[in-house]
A and B are shown apart, each in its own frame.
Chain A
Amino acid sequence: MKGPLVSLWLLLAAIICFGLFFAKYEVQSLEGELATLNREILDRQGELHVLRAEWALLSRPERIHHLSARYLDLKTVSAERIGTPDGLATHLEAGK
């Protein structure tokens, strides 16, 4: 009666030991992964920052203006070309 009980306890202890050991290593590796991810997030944020600055440089009005003058035939919108929904209705009725 005494023998099996002891071996049962020993088995339980061994399982818990192993479980604890396993969990600890699992947590450690996850923590490492988390740290890497956090570092990567920071890196990406830094890259985003540079890209935003670059975008600001590329989309500055002066450059857009220059490019549109060079490649597009656009003119300043005159007031006559801007309408209202009400104006549209009368316009459509006149067209009927």
Chain B
Amino acid sequence: MTRARRHQTDRAQRRAIETGRTRLVLMGTLAMFAFLAIGVRLVDVMVLREGHEPRLADTNLPVAWQTERADILDRNGEILATNLRTASLYADPKKIQSPKQAAQRLARLLPGLSRAATLTLLTSNRRFIWIRRHLTPRQQYAVNALGIPGLYFQHEERRAYPHGHLAAHVVGFTGVDNRGLAGIEKSFDEVLRNGSGPLRLSLDVRIQHILADEISDAMARFQAIAGIGVVMDVTSGEVLGLVSMPDFDPNQPGAAAPDALFNRATLGIYEMGSTFKIFTAAMALESGTATIQSIYDASKPIRVARFLIRDFKPKNRWLSVPEILMYSSNIGAAKMAIEVGTDRQQAYLAKLGLLDQADLELPEIGMPLRPKRWREINLMTISYGHGLAVSPLQLTSAVATVANGGIALPATMLRQPDASKDVAKEGTRVFSPETSERMRRLLRLVVAQGTGRNAAAKGYLVGGKTGTAEKIATKGYARKSLRASFVGAFPMQDPRYAVFVMLDEPKGDKKSFGYATGGWVAAPLVSRIVTRMAPLVGVAPIDENAPAIKQRMFIEINDRGQRLASF
């Protein structure tokens, strides 16, 4: 090999090594950058962004147990309606080996299941047949124990009402598919199905029970065909008790008579009778057409067109405003109303919410029946509660307005936050506080000395007004079939609750001296209801004969100059 040639190979070799080295350095640098980038990212992720172990394990946390339909609770959290999981039995007839035997065994196990009908179903060509919806756990166990292949369970939910008929008209009921068909279940159907937690009503099951218990007792005693009761918080418009009898069991609404499903307290409208004199007196005092001292000639009946306005127990003399309420004089009330006038009477009744549908969270709300043309005869009859039919709930609301200082509050079935119990802010003023104060004294007077004497509940200063309305017969009014009612509030020195009760067609007995009037039938009921519920709701009894109370309830009767205190 020549030198030159060796030199040449040498150079070529060296160049190749050079190239290789350059490439190596290049690749090394690239790799270094790549690792550097990864390193920086690692530091970023592990040190800078989340420098510590995650505090919470990333896993599925338990979701709260939920039913398809939310519960309905009373104001204290008692369950009025809830959903229970049940098993429903269905079959795939193709998989049942011995339909005859299966039908026989199932019919023996499940009461009311027809063997023949089940056999036809089990031998049909369908792949899915319901055998029985909502089995009891015991039945489910028994069916399971039969070990028949082809029978399956489907988990379903069923609405249950633990209190049964107690608040049936308020809560309402649902159909087979758990959709609300009446009451709160219907008006809050969407809300309940949205799963936004339980719905709390203003109702108090204890008060509801007292009301229902007393009314059903009285219905039995006086052989009444129906009974209604409402208890309302006058400071918030919350309905604490709402009873309509006869009632039904919402667990089996299908078994109820149509008459029992009818909510008389909100959907039923009635001519209320003398209880309307409360409003007549209040509007006369408020509009200034009468004072407590005013007297009216009630010595003889009023004849208007073909009507005769008479008193049930005529006094045949001039009566003062307190006396008109005390003795429940129709003549006196009519004369007071004439001074008030048609327009003002309408305006006040409208403000009291007695001319339009009540605004309550129930689908069953009755439309008041008012005269088409408001003539003078209407003015006069409405002054004592005839010729205008309203629902018991509306009447209770209106009496709450008179008693609470003159503020009309919308009635509600839902529990209101305690903070919102500022009457003046929430409602609209109908009467001045002074008129309300006078009306309280007048209502107390009716119970202390007038027709409502039987409503007195010792220590709780009940005030109110009786009402006895003759039912409309095919021709005119029926003398013998009455609706006896009492509406009032307590404690009268600072009213907190309004109470209304009504019995439909009561028959007087020996203890009521044959009377079936509001004063003898409904008033004693209110006395017992108040005595039972007052300790529950925290109304402290007071000494009715204490001078301070006597003075607060004092009213001048103007009975021919004679001064009397009402207590």
Measured CB to CB, the residues of A under 8 A from B are 31, 34-35, 38, 41-42, 45-46, 49-50, 52-54, 56-57, 59-62, 65, 76-80, 82, 84
Q: Do B82 and A57 touch (CB < 8 A)?
A: no
Tell me the chain B residues, 520-567 only, with Cβ under 8 Å from chain A: 528, 531-532, 534-535, 540-541
Contact partner of B206 among A50, A56, A61, CB < 8 A? A61
Q: Do B65 and A45 touch (CB < 8 A)?
A: yes
Residue B514, interface by CB 8 Å = no
Given A50-B84, A76-B532, A82-B541, the answer on whether A38 and B162 have CB atoms closer than 8 Å is no
Residues in A with CB closer than 8 Å to B210 are 61
- B153-185 vs A, CB cutoff 8 Å, 1 = contact: the mask equals 000000010111010000000000000000000
B19 to chain A, nearest CB (A): 31
- A sample of 9 inter-chain contacts (CB < 8 A) reads A53-B84, A53-B160, A56-B163, A60-B162, A60-B166, A60-B205, A65-B209, A79-B457, A82-B535
Contact partner of B531 among A61, A78, A84, CB < 8 A? A78
Residue B85, interface by CB 8 Å = yes
Bound-complex Cα distance A45 to B62 (A): 11
Residues in B with CB closer than 8 Å to A60 are 162-164, 166, 205, 209
Residues in A with CB closer than 8 Å to B68 are none
Residue B78, interface by CB 8 Å = yes
Residues in B with CB closer than 8 Å to A65 are 209, 213
Contact partner of A41 among B62, B78, B459, B540, CB < 8 A? B62
Measured CB to CB, the residues of B under 8 A from A are 57, 59-65, 67, 78-79, 82, 84-85, 160, 162-164, 166, 205-206, 208-210, 213, 457-460, 528, 531-532, 534-535, 540-541
Contact partner of B458 among A35, A46, A57, A79, CB < 8 A? A79
Give the nearest-CB partner of A31 in chain B. Answer: B59
Bound-complex Cα distance A61 to B531 (A): 17
Contact partner of A52 among B82, B205, B459, B534, CB < 8 A? B82
Q: Do B65 and A46 touch (CB < 8 A)?
A: yes
Q: Do B459 and A56 touch (CB < 8 A)?
A: no
Bound-complex Cα distance A84 to B57 (A): 57
Interface-central residue, B79, B160, B209, B460, by most chain A CB under 10 Å: B79
Interface-central residue, A78, A79, A84, by most chain B CB under 10 Å: A79
Bound-complex Cα distance A38 to B64 (A): 10
Give the nearest-CB partner of A77 in chain B. Answer: B535
Residues in B with CB closer than 8 Å to A50 are 84-85
Residues in A with CB closer than 8 Å to B162 are 53-54, 56-57, 60
Q: Do A62 and B82 touch (CB < 8 A)?
A: no
Bound-complex Cα distance A35 to B208 (A): 44
Q: Do B60 and A35 touch (CB < 8 A)?
A: yes
Give the nearest-CB partner of A42 in chain B. Answer: B65
Bound-complex Cα distance A46 to B67 (A): 9
A76 to chain B, nearest CB (A): 5
A89 to chain B, nearest CB (A): 16
Bound-complex Cα distance A16 to B532 (A): 76
Contact partner of B79 among A31, A52, A79, CB < 8 A? A52
Give the nearest-CB partner of B208 in chain A. Answer: A61
Bound-complex Cα distance A96 to B65 (A): 61
B417 to chain A, nearest CB (A): 24
Contact partner of B78 among A38, A56, A62, A84, CB < 8 A? A56
B539 to chain A, nearest CB (A): 10
Bound-complex Cα distance A76 to B65 (A): 41
Give the nearest-CB partner of A48 in chain B. Answer: B65
Contact partner of A79 among B57, B205, B206, B460, CB < 8 A? B460
Q: A50-B84, A82-B535 are in contact. List 18 more A-B contacts (CB 8 A).
A: A31-B59, A34-B57, A34-B59, A35-B60, A42-B65, A49-B67, A52-B79, A52-B82, A53-B162, A56-B78, A60-B162, A60-B164, A62-B163, A78-B458, A80-B459, A82-B459, A82-B540, A82-B541
